[in-house]
Amino acid sequence: MTVTDPSPPSPVPARILVVGGGGRENALGWALARCPGVEQVLVAPGNGGTTALAGCGQLAIAESDHGALAAACRAHAIDLVVVGPEAPLAAGLADRLRSEGLAVFGPGADGALLEASKRWAKDLMQEAGVPTAGYWAATDRQQALDALERHGRPLVVKADGLAAGKGVTVADSLEQCREAIEEVFAGRFQSAAPGEAAAPSLVLEERLHGPEVSVFALTDGRSMVLLPPAQDHKRIGEGDTGPNTGGMGAYAPARLLDAAGMEQVRQRVLEPILAALRARGIDYRGVIFAGLMLTEEGLRVIEFNCRFGDPECETLMPLLGPELAQVLLACATGRLEQAPPLTIEPRCSACVIAAAAGYPGEVRRGDPIDGDLGDDPDLQLFHAGSRRSEAGPVVTAGGRVLAVVAQADDFDTAFERAYDGLGRVGFEGMVYRRDIGHQVRTRRPALP
Ligand code: AMP
Ligand code: GLY
């Protein structure tokens, strides 16, 4: 009989700081606070909902204030920092905190280029052999216009750099493409690629067709854990019409990818991209978000992001087990293989977003938010654009205001629960889509 050394136990972080103030961070805080062994979760800056979460506290520190965040980690003896949004990651928050010895779930500025520079990401995908749309990079206006003329068909125009989801134009005509190119070179978006500080540049991409699905891999740079695939609803209007938004609702698991499909995503997309990152000397610890399109020719990567999707995060967190805090710490410390397996409940999760009137344009703010969903283990209310007003009540403070999420054994029941919950909360001018999950619901709502 051989005796093997038991693996060192995987520690639980007692004190966690979540950086960010959206629905995603509200859901992360909620999910981490319910993990056994987690004593406190602080959210900075949080929102009007964070204070109401059991086990969560709030710090009034902006995600851009790296110095104050580092000081707060020292003051509160933080064991794990989870960075939600892309902007602080691209600005090097994880590097700064790691340089002070902290465990951080979220890549450094180098890994965040996966999202922060479209061109860098496309080059890496090509190098790694990851299936993606054909592309042409251009650093000047004429070069871009010439590439478009040579192609002779509308192309997708993507400004390089973080543009808060506004840098992509899926044009139907050559004229629209030219206008989008002019806009980029008029300097509306800035490049985040190293050494190109403010020079506008763009990527022109072949237009692909097919349903989209989001896949998230938690990684320590070598191993990874995949979460169930989720489908977002980007358009503001029912029937997937109207302008793009950050996402009006989501559901998981999306049936677009079965176990074999997920295995393909792992082998053809995630493992090669992680290997290519390592080959560039990048130690990527955090989440890789693959935005995929399922085309007739097979799966293609539309984009990578260096963070959880929102509202996909709100949708997925309730399905994850009590090992989540340990798993995120293990990713942050490069020891994912020693962490316990992450339990993923085989249930259906449905998320509907309530937005403020005017979204995705200018929105009204300051309206009191009413209602409460009570204590139902299968129903969650997460806040996004909300804040606690000086007078006391929580008021609207952004475009997407609330996320109502419900779980059940089937999607019809999950969506009925979510919409029932949404009927019990609200604010003046609340806007939402009634057809979230239309792809998987059999009992459809009556639409006009
Ligand atoms: P991105 O910011 O790269 O996610 O792009 C925003 C949205 O534009 C995506 O979710 C897609 O719906 C669409 N899109 C981006 N690239 C393409 C492409 N090559 N073909 C068709 N649609 C695209
Ligand atoms: N829901 C898509 C995103 O977060 O980019």
DSSP-derived secondary structure for 320-368: B-TTHHHHHHHHHTT-GGGSPPPPB--SEEEEEEEE-TTTTSS----PB
Please tell me the predicted confidence (pLDDT) of residue 427. 97
Please tell me the predicted confidence (pLDDT) of residue 448. 47
Burial 376-397 (b: 16+ CB within 10 A, else e): eebbbbbbbbbbbeeeeebbbb
Over residues 71-99, the pLDDT tens digits come to 999 999 999 999 999 999 999 999 999 99
Pocket lining: 232 vs ligand 2, CB cutoff 6 Å: yes
Please tell me the predicted confidence (pLDDT) of residue 283. 97
Dist CA 126 CA 49 (whole Å):
42
Alpha carbon dihedral 431, 352, 247, 302, in 10-degree steps, equals: -150
Please tell me the predicted confidence (pLDDT) of residue 398. 95
Please tell me the predicted confidence (pLDDT) of residue 171. 85
Joined tokens for residue 213: 């699905």
Q: Which helix (H) or strand (E) holds 301?
A: strand 298-305
Please tell me the predicted confidence (pLDDT) of residue 167. 81
Ligand closest in space to the Cα of 287: 2
Distance 351 CA to ligand 2 centre (A): 13
Please tell me the predicted confidence (pLDDT) of residue 194. 47
CA angle 366–431–157, rounded 5-degree value:
100
Of residues 319, 315, 318, 293, the one with CA closest to residue 304: 293
Query: Ligand 2 atom closest to Cα of 232?
Result: 1
Question: What residues flank ligand 1, with Cβ below 6 Å?
Answer: 133, 156, 165, 168, 170, 205-208, 212, 234, 291, 302-303
Please tell me the predicted confidence (pLDDT) of residue 7. 63
Over residues 409-448, the pLDDT tens digits come to 999 999 999 999 999 999 999 999 999 999 999 987 655 4
Over residues 186-243, the pLDDT tens digits come to 877 754 444 445 678 888 999 999 999 999 999 999 999 999 999 999 999 999 999 8
Joined tokens for residue 185: 């070179």
Within its chain, how far is the Cα of 373 from the centroid?
25
Please tell me the predicted confidence (pLDDT) of residue 195. 47
The ranges of the chain with pLDDT < 50 are: 191-196, 448
Query: Ligand 1 atom closest to Cα of 133?
Result: 19
Joined tokens for residue 34: 């319910």
**DSSP assignment letter at 52:** G
CA angle 412–417–422, rounded 5-degree value:
125
Query: Ligand 2 atom closest to Cα of 307?
Result: 4
